[in-house]
Amino acid sequence: MRPFAIGVLSERTGVKVPTIRFYESIGLLPAPERTQTNRRTYDEDTVRRLRFIRHARELGFEVDAIRTLLDLAAHPERPCAEADVVARRHLADIDDRIERLTGLRAEVQAMLDQCTGGQVRECRVIEVLANHGECLSEKH
Amino acid sequence: MRPFAIGVLSERTGVKVPTIRFYESIGLLPAPERTQTNRRTYDEDTVRRLRFIRHARELGFEVDAIRTLLDLAAHPERPCAEADVVARRHLADIDDRIERLTGLRAEVQAMLDQCTGGQVRECRVIEVLANHGECLSEKH
DNA sequence: TGAAGACCTCTAGCTACTAGAGGCTTGTCT
DNA sequence: AGACAAGCCTCTAGTAGCTAGAGGTCTTCA
C-alpha cells in the first residue's frame, strides 16, 4: 500500500482530520513523513495505532493512560501487569463516577417528585436548591 | 450585619475566593459594591445567592441552567413549570451519562476478566483495544 | 513600625478537542 | 489548458468551569 493523505487516514479510522493533527501535536501520534509540498503521509501502522487510540478513547481512557497502553503495546515481551493496573484504575474511576451520578440522580428526582406545579413561590425545586438542609445526603 | 469581604463570603459559602470572582466575571453574581480602596463587599443576599449556586453546581447543573433557575427564584409569582423543565432535562442528562458509563464499565470489566496476567504479547487488554471487533457492543 | 496575610488585576493553564481565517496544492471537468 | 472545488497547510481562539501564579496594594495585629 502506498502512503496516503490525512483525509484518507481520517476516513479509515473515523477520527477527524483536526483531531489527528491534534494527536500529533500532543505526541500521541508520531510526526509523519511529508511530501515535497509539505503534506502529511501515513501508512498502515498509523491506521492501527490511531484505531487503538480511538477505541481506548471511546472506552473513556484518558490520553495519559493511552500513552502508557501504547507504550506497552509496543513491547510485547513485557509483563502485562501494567496494562492491568491502567485498566483497573479506569474501572475504579468509572465506578466512582457512576456512584456519584446515581446519588445526584436520586436528589434531583426527589426534588422533582415534590414539585406540585404551582408558582415558583412554592416550588420545591427552587427551594431545595436554596436550602441544602433538605437534601437526601449531606455528602455534597 | 455589616457588609463583609470576599474572604468571609468564601468561608460562609464554601466557595473559593477565585471562584467567586470568576462567577462575577461570567455574570452569575452581580458586581458588588466596593470600598474606597477597591475591595469587594458583600451582604447576606449574596450569601444566599452563592449558596444556591453552589448547591446547584454540586447537583451537577450547568451554569446556564443555574442562570435560568436564579432568574426564576427571583420571580416567585411566575409558574414553576420552567424550573421543572430545567430539572427534568438535567435528570435526563444524568440518566444518559449513567447509561453510557454502565456500558463502558461492562466493556472494561470484560477486558480485565480475560486477562491472564502473562506477557503483553497475549494481553487481552491490549488486544481488545487494538481490535474493536471483540467488543461487547458495536455502539462505540 | 514592620511583617504577615488578605485583597486587587491580569494572564495562562487544565481536558480533549473543534472552528475559523487565510493561503497553498491537487484533482477533476470541460 | 484553464477554471474551480476540494483538500491540505499553519496559527489562533473558543468550549466548561474553574485553578494557579505573578506582581502589586491594603489592612491588621503584635
- Which residue's C-alpha is at the least distance from the C1' of D18? B19
Tell me whether residue A140 is in a domain.
no
Q: Tell me how far apart the alpha carbons of residues A119 and A127 are, in angstroms, rounded to a whole number.
A: 12
Residue with grid cell 493496573, as numbered in its chain: A85
Written as one letter, the residue type at B6 is I
* B18: nearest nucleotide, CA–C1' criterion: D19
Of B78, B97, B120, the domain-final residue: B78
Nucleotides on chain C that have an atom closer than 7 A to a protein CB are: 6-9, 15-20, 24-26
Q: What is the CATH number of the domain that holds A63?
A: 1.10.1660.10
Residue B136: its pLDDT value, please? 77
Q: Tell me how far apart the alpha carbons of residues B123 and A21 are, in angstroms, rounded to a whole number.
A: 29
Domain that holds residue B34: 6-78
| B contacts of A110 (beta carbons < 8 Å) | none
- Please check whether residues B14 and B74 belong to one and the same domain: yes
pLDDT digits (tens, 9 = 90+) for B31-63: 999 999 999 999 999 999 999 999 999 999 999
Q: Do B83 and A121 count as a contact with CB atoms less than 8 A apart?
A: no
Tell me whether residue A102 is in a domain.
yes
Residue A26: its pLDDT value, please? 94
3-state helix, strand, coil in chain A (%, to 5): 65, 5, 30
pLDDT digits (tens, 9 = 90+) for B9-22: 999 999 999 999 99
